[in-house]
Amino acid sequence: MTINSLRFEHLVRGYGGLPVLRGVSAAVASGETLLVTGDNGTGKSTLLRCLAGLLAPESGSIELTEDGTALGTGQRRSRVGYLSPELSFYEELTVAEIMRLFARLRRVEPHRADELVERVGLPSGRAGGALSSGMRQRLRWAWAMLHRPSVLLLDEPFQNLDPASEGLTRDMLNDHLEQGGMAVIASPAPLGLSNVATRLELAR
């Protein structure tokens, strides 16, 4: 099994001169979860966007290693699966078409997309615009895991899920960790997660 680690040190990021992240540091390794908590506005989502490569920190470092070898920025982005409440999909495409489209873009075999649609229990022929909020969240889970990422970055991962769907996605997370993956999860609440190696509390 490949031994991976994700480490970030002294990350600083603000918006319009207003500081949000103020020298934030933490690390997580294979099979572990880093839980990031804090009130709204403390920078949880900003941190995940920086780790995903969607935002550049103003200062500090982010390093993902595989068996002791540090990956470049592009390689790091390709190893990340990202889930956010803000992630939306093409409303006119069906669930199957959405997943197969992204499978092609990520150079993933089409059957992987079909397997994930089945696992999260979505109707493959339903249009993205006709999905309920809970179905959209399950589709975000399938999308994040499509390319078998080594790092899952999950922003409020159980939002809008009923108990059965939450149990399903918790099982998906546990499978990911058991296979040597890592997870960084942002949430206002602790969530009762297993495999939490580190907790990072952000404050205003």
18-43 pLDDT per residue, tens: 889 999 999 999 999 999 999 998 99
Full domain range(s) for residue 50? 1-79+151-162+178-204
> In a 3-state reduction of DSSP, which class is residue 113?
helix
Is-contact 73 61, C-beta < 8 A?
no
Q: List Cα–Cα distances, 116 to 4, 139, 161, 183, in angstroms.
A: 24, 9, 17, 19
The verdict on residue 173 lying in a domain is: no
Give, as one character, the DSSP assignment of residue 13. Answer: E
Whether residues 62 and 92 fall in one domain = no
* Pairing state between β 151-155 and 182-186: parallel
For residue 35, give both structure tokens: 């839980």
Strand 4-15 relative to strand 59-66, pairing: antiparallel
Residue 3 above 80 pLDDT? no
Per the structure block, which two tokens stand in for 179? 């296979």
Is the model's pLDDT at 2 over the cut of 70? Answer: no
User: What are the φ and ψ backbone dihedral angles of 113, each rounded to 5 degrees?
Assistant: -60, -45
Q: What is the number of structural domains in the chain?
A: 2
Q: Note whether 156 and 64 are same-domain residues.
A: yes
Are residues 197 and 97 part of one domain?
A: no
The closest alpha carbon to 145, from 159, 135, 157, 132, belongs to 157
Task: Give 44-81 pLDDT, tens digit per residue.
Answer: 999 999 999 999 999 999 999 998 899 998 899 999 99
Alpha helices in the chain (DSSP H): 44-52, 73-78, 95-105, 110-119, 133-145, 163-178
Residue 194 banded pLDDT, cuts 50, 70, 90: confident
Kindly state whether residues 10 and 73 are assigned to the same domain. Answer: yes
| CA-angle at 81, arms to 84 and 92, nearest 5° | 60
pLDDT at position 84 is 96
172 found inside a domain: no
Which residues are registered as beta bridge partners of 22?
Answer: 12
From 152, 202, 161, select the one nearest 181 (Cα to Cα).
Answer: 152
Q: What is the DSSP letter of 188?
A: S
Task: Note the pLDDT tens digit of each residue in 104-158.
Answer: 999 999 999 999 999 999 999 999 999 999 999 999 999 999 999 999 999 999 9
Confidence label for 1 from pLDDT (cuts 50, 70 and 90): low
In the prediction, which pLDDT does 17 show? 82
Q: Per-residue confidence at 190, pLDDT binned at 50, 70, 90? A: confident
The answer to whether residues 71 and 156 belong to one domain is: yes
Q: How far is Cα 159 from Cα 153, in angstroms, rounded to an integer?
A: 14
Q: Are residues 116 and 155 in the same domain?
A: no
18-29 β-sheet, strand order: 18-29, 4-15, 59-66, 69-70
Residue in 94, 90, 187, 83 with CA at minimum distance from that of residue 143: 83
Instruction: Please check whether residues 31 and 122 belong to one and the same domain.
Output: no
